[in-house]
Amino acid sequence: MDMKEVYALCCKPGDTCLDVGANVDQTARLVAPLVGSSGRCVSFECHPGHFAALSRLATAESFRNVEPYCRALSSDVGHAVMFFGEDPDAAEASTLMPELANPARLGRRIGRLKVETDTIDRFCAERNYRPALIKVDVEGAEEHVFAGARTVLLDNLPHVVFEFGHGFADGRTPGHFQLLGEFGYRLFIVDLTYFRNRPARFRDLSDTLVEATPADLLRNATSGGNILALHVDKWAEVLRETKTMSFTAAEQRVVFTAPSLKGRLASTLHRAEVDMLNGVASGYRAVRSVAVGVARYILKRGVK
């Protein structure tokens, strides 16, 4: 199922929708016509270049219902450093997560900007917005965005669409998955990019959503796609005319795909960089341990 169909399931005229991590305008172009002139697509993008394109879209007569904001949404109000790729082939990549600001993702030249941060809860309370949909695509910072949206999620039970390309690498269930589960949300995979750590896709499921749990994703190292999260009180109504399938059944429809040469090289570079950083960290811990041991020995013996 493509994202246009997903947004059509979740949006209706008059709705307020939050587009978090709007990039240049891709989601706004799909959502704004669905909510119509009586609704609003509130778009957040902290990359100045991307925000300029988003702002230009909002001046068009047919997109007057787009409200652009040049800020990042997170768990706190204040400022944060945004890392972005300055190489042409990484022009659309940026992140607030330092651990993801590496050459494999952002290219060899990585820029930095200090950007304004806000929370969904504060923003919506100030304007009395009650979003029907929250879309989140923030390159690894999803956990922080949802941490700043607890009140809105509980009070409004909005439909949620988010990327799940990061967060399972360390073998834990990311905080935003836990939060959505605690609040009564069910998860449906729209698409995927990796299955069991290999490039993959679903075969013949273009009109079907796959219901999954965080345990399903963790057990099968599934990532790189989009998830539609629906509250238990709303999911049946939203999906009444949509096909769904269990994750166990969908596993039989997974097809592994060959990565491009560029993708293989980038993956190799990323692994090498991670190994190098882990080696540096291990060496630092070993030296620090020895230094602390010597210092304690000297203090204990009273040697000057």
Residues 80-108 have a mean pLDDT of 84
Asked if 210 and 188 count as a contact pair (C-beta separation under 8 A), the reply is: yes
Find where tokens 């930095």 sit: 112
What's the sign of the alpha-carbon dihedral 8, 10, 15, 17? negative
The whole-number pLDDT of residue 150 equals 98
Strand ranges for 147-193 from DSSP E: 159-163, 185-191
DSSP letter, residue 239: T
pLDDT tens figures, 186-219: 999 999 888 888 899 999 988 999 999 999 988 8
- Banded pLDDT at 284 (limits 50, 70, 90): low
Specify the pLDDT at position 278: 46
Look at residue 281 in the predicted model and tell me its pLDDT. Answer: 47
Average pLDDT, the chain: 87
Residue 250 burial (10 A CB sphere; 0-12, 13-18, 19+): buried
Q: Which CATH superfamily, name and number, covers 3-256?
A: Vaccinia Virus protein VP39 (3.40.50.150)
Q: What is the dihedral of CA 109, 115, 119, 122, to 10 degrees?
A: -170
Per domain, the residue ranges of the chain are: 3-256, 260-304
Q: What is the pTM of this model?
A: 0.83
Cβ neighbours for 192, distance < 8 A, ≥ 6 positions apart: 200, 201, 202, 222, 223, 224, 225
